[in-house]
Amino acid sequence: MFLGTTNAIGRELTFGRGRPPLVPDPGQQVLLLNEDGSSIEGFRAVSGPMSSETGEIIIRVAIEQEYKDSRREGRRAVSMAWPAERVEVFVPWYKWQRWFTR
């Protein structure tokens, strides 16, 4: 049996449930942000966050079609490193609507 946790005011703590994820899990669709702020669609995260040789936090990403092909063929996707601070988890609008109407 799971008992809910409450804060000092008596509100239930959700521990991130009901909010969009900030860090992508492998396989999730992501938007890549350019240095000018524009976004690039059509990518999937291949890894979670990891450190590069320079100490920068990166996420390995692959083009959507390459990700699907590699899964079907049972191999690793050809991917590239992208700075984690410029990766956003793609959440469809209908899921956003669900988060804000609860």
11-57 per-position pLDDT tens digit: 555 555 556 677 888 999 999 999 998 999 999 999 999 999 999 99
63-102 per-position pLDDT tens digit: 999 999 999 999 999 999 999 999 998 877 665 555 555 5
For 33, the domain range is 29-100
Answer yes or no: is 2 within a domain: no
- 3-class SS of residue 45: strand
Specify the pTM. 0.70
Answer yes or no: is 8 within a domain: no
Answer yes or no: is 6 within a domain: no
Task: Report d(CA 76, CA 50) in Å as an integer.
Answer: 17
Answer yes or no: is 17 within a domain: no
Answer yes or no: is 19 within a domain: no
Answer yes or no: is 38 within a domain: yes
Answer yes or no: is 11 within a domain: no
Other CB atoms within 10 A of residue 60 CB = 18
The single-letter code of the amino acid at 24 is: P
Q: How many domains does the chain have?
A: 1
